[in-house]
């Protein structure tokens, strides 16, 4: 069982529950890497319990923004494009006309 790690600055934890009890930081890192997600070991935290494990990974805010926008794709709501933005960049775009 790993110690509880602090979320690195500029990142957000993403949680995974109901994992196998034998899951470790390293095995979860290897699982993610085999699927193209190279996450540093210090950004992974796995906790084991009597009946299983849970994990969390720290992702940069920009990656989360990117993933949300990939899911939305080019879909439109009421004929306007929908885009997720980080709070620190949203103000830069507030005066733009919708596309």
Per-position pLDDT tens, the chain of length 99: 455 677 677 788 899 999 999 999 999 999 999 998 899 999 999 999 999 999 999 998 888 888 899 999 999 999 999 998 887 766 655 555 444
Give the C-alpha separation, 65 to 59, whole Å.
10
- Distance in angstroms (rounded) separating the CA atoms of residues 8 and 49: 24
pTM for the predicted model, two decimal places: 0.69
Can you give the residue range of the structural domain that contains 42? 11-60
DSSP H or E run through 77: strand 76-77
Phi, psi of 27 (to 5 degrees): -65, -35
* Total domain count, the chain: 2
Same domain, 19 and 53: yes
Residue 16 and residue 54 share a domain: yes
Q: What's the pLDDT at 77?
A: 95
pLDDT on residue 35:
92
Q: What is the pLDDT of residue 78?
A: 95
Q: Does one domain contain both 73 and 51? A: no
Check residue 12 and give its pLDDT. 86
Tell whether 41 is covered by a domain: yes
What pLDDT does 96 receive?
A: 52
> Do 80 and 55 fall into the same domain?
no
Place of tokens 């004929």: 79
Q: What is the pLDDT of residue 36?
A: 87
């Amino acid at each position: 069982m790993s110690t509880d790690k602090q979320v690195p600055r500029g990142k957000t934890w993403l949680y995974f529950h109901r994992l196998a009890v034998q899951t470790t930081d390293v095995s979860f890192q290897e699982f993610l890497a085999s699927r193209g997600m190279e996450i540093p070991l210090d950004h992974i935290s796995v906790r084991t319990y009597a009946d299983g494990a849970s994990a969390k990974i720290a992702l940069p805010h920009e990656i989360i923004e990117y993933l949300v926008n990939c899911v939305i794709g080019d879909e439109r709501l009421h004929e306007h494009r929908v885009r997720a933005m980080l709070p620190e960049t949203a103000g830069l775009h507030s005066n733009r006309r919708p596309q």
